[in-house]
Amino acid sequence: MVVDFNNLIINNLHSETEFEKKVFFFLEEWLSDSETVKVQTSGSTGVPKLFDIEKKKMINSAVMTCNFLDLKKGDTALLCLPVEYISGKMMMVRSFERKMKLIIADPSLKPLENLEEEIAFCAMTPLQVENSLGKLHLIKNLIIGGASVSENLKDKISEILKLSNSENQIFETYGMSETLSHIALKQLVPQAEEYFRAFENVSVTKDERGCLRIWAPNVNAEVLKTNDLVEIKDENKFRFLGRIDNVINSGGAKIFPEELEALVKKEIPNEVVFLGLNDERLGQKLVLVIEGEELMGIIEKIAGISFDKKFHKPKEIIFINTIPRTPNGKVNRTELKNIL
């Protein structure tokens, strides 16, 4: 199904798949007289919640992204994210706001499988990108969100696009349901940036815990307090260090698992998660969970990693067939810990 927001006639649209029916339902909700729409949180940091969001604030968010990427009327975009969540809904709102033509593809691990034409814009998860490397050159502006982009995947993206000799812009996003998708982007291609850059009219500071505070009046009337530990460069730029609720306290030493995961992912392609499991002596014992088959080559690569601190080296390595994820693809650390 293709929705042309420059010439939108609802009666001409025919939904065939379950996903297309959900898209159609959101379209009707969006075009209704109601000033709000319902959005579900991902549940990656707690119990999933339903809450109402003002349409005008979603438009404000869409304008920030479209202006940043210079998206224009008549451009073609691709939707391949669930519309239950803010990520999928905002793809539709951006297309509505800029009067773009939106290709609807069922969310899957290979969303570009049937894509043959060049498009101006798409949003994907890292896992979707991993399975779509051969067609990334078809997307002029790609944003990647839902989880952090590993160093290994960044290298793959850079190499594949060098071979295609195409001019693409690829960004990693920072945001959440409360900020109506992302409020900052970090360029991966053509230049690899270290810091996220907040949009115009968005400023960032740190609280007493070292966690990010966001002032984005166009999308939220309150200063948003996050549980994300950051390094602030200025009121517009920041670097994500990890979630404070993921911090592991092992023998009195604080360990940021996301930093260690980024280090390990430079060496192996597998999904990895560092966790703190209860330990009588240390309080929490640092363990490394690796998705996939236990292979001696992987263990040897990890043994060869130079960790900054001695206590950053995992006390135990556990292999698991499948790491649990939330419905929108984020690693579910709580469920993983329960499994272990």
CATH number of the domain to which 53 belongs: 3.40.50.12780
Q: Is residue 209 part of a domain?
A: no
Which of 163, 196, 229 corresponds to the end of one domain? Answer: 196
Instruction: Please name the residue that has the structure tokens 């539709």.
Output: 92
Tokens of 234: 């200025």
Confidence check: pLDDT of 324 > 80:
yes
Summarize the confidence of residues 27-50 as an average pLDDT.
Answer: 80
Do residue 188 and residue 251 come from a single domain? no
192 and 258 fall within a common domain: no
Shared domain check, 172 and 269: no
The arithmetic mean of pLDDT across residues 211-232, rounded, is 94
Same domain, 180 and 112: yes
**Is residue 214, in this structure, part of any structural domain at all?**
no
Q: How far is it, in rounded angstroms, from Cα 265 to Cα 175?
A: 22
Give the CA count within 13 Å in the CB-facing half-sphere of 229: 14
Q: Name the DSSP class of 210.
A: S
The whole-number pLDDT of residue 235 equals 86
Task: Decide if 67 is inside a domain.
Answer: yes
Checking if the pLDDT of 327 tops 80, the result is no
- Whether the predicted pLDDT of 46 surpasses 70: no
Per-residue pLDDT tens over the stretch 154-191: 989 999 998 887 789 999 999 988 888 899 999 999 99
Is residue 286 in some structural domain?
A: yes
- 166/23 same-domain check: yes
Is 314 contained in some domain?
yes
Q: How long is the chain?
A: 340
Which DSSP string do the residues of 262-331 spell out, in sequence order? HHHTTT--S-EEEEEEEETTTEEEEEEEEES---HHHHHHHHT---SSGGGS-SEEEEES---B-TTS-B
- Which structural domain range is residue 306 located in? 247-339
Per-residue pLDDT band for 42 (boundaries 50, 70, 90) equals low
pLDDT for residue 172:
97
Mean pLDDT of the chain: 91
Say whether both 164 and 298 belong to one domain.
Answer: no
Identify whether residues 152 and 16 lie together within a single domain: yes
Q: Is the same domain home to 176 and 256?
A: no
Residue 211 included in any domain? no
Cβ neighbours around 222 below 10 Å, total: 10
Please check whether residue 242 lies inside any domain of the structure.
Answer: no
pTM value surpassing 0.85 = no
Q: In terms of DSSP bridges, do strands 237-243 and 224-234 run parallel, antiparallel, or are they unpaired? A: antiparallel
Mean pLDDT, range 96-106, rounded to an integer: 96
Of the candidates 135, 98, 133, 106, the residue with the CA atom closest to the CA atom of residue 119:
135
Domain count, the chain: 2
Residues 166 and 54 in one domain: yes
pLDDT in tens, 52-97: 899 999 999 999 999 999 999 999 999 999 998 899 999 999 999 9
Residue 240 lies in a domain: no
pLDDT at 163: 82
Q: Which of 162, 196, 230 represents a domain boundary (last residue)?
A: 196
262 and 183 within one domain: no
Are residues 121 and 254 located together in one domain of the fold? Answer: no
At residue 150, does pLDDT exceed 90?
no
Statement to judge: residues 144 and 264 lie in one domain: no
